[in-house]
Amino acid sequence: MQFNEEKAPNKTGVVRDTRYLDHIPGPGHIESPSRLEAIYRRLDQPDAVSLYTVIPPRPATREELAWNHAPDYVERIARTAGKEFVFLDPDTGTSPGSWTAACLAVGGVFALMDAIMREEIPNGLALVRPPGHHAERDHAMGFCIFNNVALGAHYARRVLGLARVLIVDWDLHHGNGTQNSFYRDPSVLYISTHQYPHYPGSGRIEESGEDEGKGFTINIPLSAGMGDADYSAVFSQIVVPVARAFAPEFILVSAGFDIYAGDPLGGMQVTEKGFAVLARSLLDAARECCRGRIVFCLEGGYSLKGLADGVYAVLGECSGKRRNGSEISFPPPTAAVTRIIDRVREAHQDLWPVLR
């Protein structure tokens, strides 16, 4: 289904809300409100503010959260509301405003999806916290409380009535929670690029789904030190061809900016131009497959400069202002990433002939 750019609105939708700043996971915690403050300051600059319209979030309900999480776990998080600090796991804690922020993070994704389906906006960025892709069915993990993107996929299936959803996860860390949410489900294709070996330890090529979901999880584990050319090659040779073959009706992106060169938690070398290319490739796929329906949801990213520059690069692509020029070229990818691409092709070519 082709995307009609002439009829499309020209401003992307951005979910932002000061209540996301009320989630404070602990003194000195690296996943702090300053992350969003840096992004919001950048989006308030004159060259950015005209590119988007703000979409207000709404809180997800307990019933909606239970699509992906155990009801008793949802209630456990609800009971943290108003409490000074509750320890959830070695990396994750809550403050008095965390329950509200976490519900609004999920509901912010829902609000963007609704606005896109109503054709009020062409696409969207959910600039939310806490992040979500490590959150499992019954426990918090790795700074994440509820799995925002996984719940977005459930929303697409249950509420919007869509048959196929693609989740692309370019965060530095493997999205174990998202993978486990749909490991046996062929209606949701999960593709992850991530530094490996690294936290949380999952994400091997051999982890490819089970039962009817076999082949609908594609893990692309990358060595530390890979940069723009390597990521561009992975997306052009694996991610986008498989996306087109799957023909999703909506694309959700776990957009982690911790692959930025210099991020304190990572070892990758992606630059602002690299983020623009990744976003552009997925936007093009969305226009071709699903009327441009795509939401980029903030996950990790702990360099304030990397967050601000990376989000602005993605916003520029979403809004159609391809600020780095009409074409962006990189030198050839490294031999190391070529070997990884070959291994992924071999592992998945039976189900995905486009990889042969």
For residue 325, what pLDDT is reported? 47
In a domain, 38, yes or no: yes
Question: Please, what are the averages of pLDDT over each run of 10 residues along the chain (356 residues)?
Answer: 51 98 96 98 97 98 98 98 96 98 99 98 98 98 98 99 99 98 98 98 98 98 98 98 98 98 97 97 98 98 98 96 69 96 98 97
For residue 175, what pLDDT is reported? 98
In a domain, 7, yes or no: no
Is-contact 146 69, C-beta < 8 A?
A: yes
The DSSP H or E segment spanning 190 is strand 188-195
Is-contact 271 228, C-beta < 8 A?
A: yes
In a domain, 327, yes or no: yes
Instruction: Specify the pTM.
Output: 0.96
Backbone φ and ψ of 296, nearest 5°: -100, 120
What is the tally of structural domains in the chain? 1
For residue 2, what pLDDT is reported? 45
Would residue 134 show up in a list of annotated catalytic residues for this protein? Answer: yes
In a domain, 211, yes or no: yes
CA distance 296 to 161: 20
* Residues contacting residue 184 through CB under 8 Å, at least 6 positions apart: 209, 210, 211, 212, 213
Range of the domain at 309: 12-355
Backbone φ and ψ of 180, nearest 5°: -70, -25
Backbone φ and ψ of 112, nearest 5°: -65, -45
Which residue out of 23, 134, 173, 174 is catalytically annotated? 134
CATH code assigned at 321:
3.40.800.20
In a domain, 5, yes or no: no
In a domain, 341, yes or no: yes
For 141, what's the count of Cα atoms within 13 Å in the CB-facing half-sphere?
18
In a domain, 115, yes or no: yes
- Specify burial of residue 163 (Cβ count, 10 A radius: 0-12, 13-18, 19+): exposed
In a domain, 4, yes or no: no
For residue 324, what pLDDT is reported? 47
